[in-house]
Amino acid sequence: MGAFQGGLTYRQYRVKERLPQHWQARVQQGLAAHAAKPIDPDGDEERAVGWCSAQFILDTHVTLESCLYDPYLVMAMRLETLTVPPGLLKMHCEAEERKVKRELKKEALSRYERAEIRERVEAALRKRLLPSLRSFEVVWNTESGVVRFLSTNKGLNEELMELFEESFGVVLIPDYAYTIAQEPALGLSDEQLAALDAVEPTPFIDSETLYESMKG
Amino acid sequence: MDFVERVTRTQFLGAEFLTWLWYQEEMGAGAFELGGDLGAVELSFEDKLTMGSTALDEQQDSFKGGRPTASPEARAALALGKQAQSASLRLTQGEQEWRFTLKAEPLMVSAVRLPEVLADDPKAQFHERMLLLETLDRLYRALFKLFLEERLSAEWTTEHLPAVQAWAARRGPQG
């Protein structure tokens, strides 16, 4: 499944503004500045997104030349997560609590002691875990301004919109019935667009049929 | 009303569009004339259909296998005021055929199967795939425009809607 082969599932966007004249330099700069970076296991970040190659997830040196399929740009948004699984954390916390209780010769630990143990154990486990990596292709037609993101996950789409704006300084407008209707290429008249702003849902069934159907 | 409100308030057009396509498929044997370089296309509903209505209740009906739009169960859901929320479709233009799922909210295509790609070179294959994808995009937008032209016209409530309601009221499939 993806831009290069197989079936395609994606969310479609349109770049709101026209690209500036020297957009190539801006895109190159944005790709470099927002390239995917590994999460620091010593920190507390659990999730990070950035650009990587559409062909190889570990290649984060994305150049304009490497992703240009004129007039398309093809790159990927990489999602890296480093989270200690809750079950694993619970087991190691319990082991540590037992050890501390033995050392302090205490029957029970206070809430603060347990919180401190949890923090320490989580930090230690993070250093032993490998992050999870996934990437999602982005295909940008720089002539038409259409961007296709090969994921329909709501959260990921929100992260893409944010990353896109931060990287390239342009806003993405997602496809909805309203935004499609507003596209100049669709060619609706001013009168039709005015009617669109006032349109209300209409039932595709008359009240008599609905009443009969509900009676069974 | 701000932009987000307009987008949210008009989301229902997706389900109305998909249900209108179903009506058009049955009444016109799936043939559409889109004009310009798009020309004539044929549309058919395939083996997956989901129906629902936020106005009536939260319950959705999912149909899989065979031809759900011809089933009495789907027709009964229609008669209860439910509309199509997603459907697997086949769109044919000349020798080329696209299979995809059309979803109502938000209005979008997914699970797209493109016509056969003929290019050998990987870069040319990519460009051909994108061209086919953009053709599908133009076709489905042109169909949406046909719907909007009826839906936003003064004749919607006097001519088109009564015809759609008469079709929805019939319990059995056409033909």
Contact between chains at B10 and A177 (C-beta distance less than 8 A):
yes
Q: What is the DSSP string of B58-70?
A: EEEEEEESS-GGG
Residues of chain A with pLDDT under 50: none
Q: Cβ B107–A192 below 8 Å, yes or no? A: no
Mutate to test the interface with B, among A175, A180, A211 (most CBs of B within 10 A): A180
d(CA B6, CA B150): 20
Q: Which residues of A touch B141 (CB under 8 A)?
A: 180, 183, 185-186
DSSP string, chain A: --SSSS-B--EEEEESSPPPTTHHHHHHHHHHHTB-----TTS---EEEEEE-SS-TT-----HHHHEETTEEEEEEEEEE----HHHHHHHHHHHHHHHHHHHT-SS--HHHHHHHHHHHHHHHHHHSPPEEEEEEEEEETTT-EEEES---HHHHHHHHHHHHHHHS--EEE--HHHHHH-GGG---HHHHHHHHH-----SS-HHHHHHHHH-
Nearest to A8 among B112, B125, B153 (CB): B112
A7–B contact, CB cutoff 8 A: yes
pLDDT tens digits for range A117-145: 999 999 999 999 999 999 999 999 999 99
Beta bridge partners of B103: B86, B108
CA distance to partner chain B, nearest, from residue A135 (Å): 18
Give exposure, A52-89, as e/b (b: 16+ Cβ within 10 Å): bbbeebeebebebeebebeebbbbbbbbbebebeeeeb
Q: Does A171 touch chain B (CB under 8 A)?
A: no
Q: What is the mean pLDDT of chain A?
A: 92
CA diameter of chain B: 55
Residuewise pLDDT in 10s, chain B (175 residues)? 788 999 999 999 999 999 999 999 998 878 898 988 899 999 999 999 999 986 656 688 999 998 899 898 998 888 888 999 999 999 999 999 999 999 999 999 999 999 998 888 989 999 999 999 999 999 999 999 999 999 999 999 999 999 999 998 885 444 3
Residue B16 and residue A7: Cβ atoms within 8 Å? no
What residue spans define the domains of chain A? 11-82+131-175, 86-128, 176-216
Please report residues of A whose CB lies closer than 8 A to that of B13.
177-178, 181, 199
Q: Could you tell me how many CB contacts below 8 A there are between chain A and chain B?
A: 137
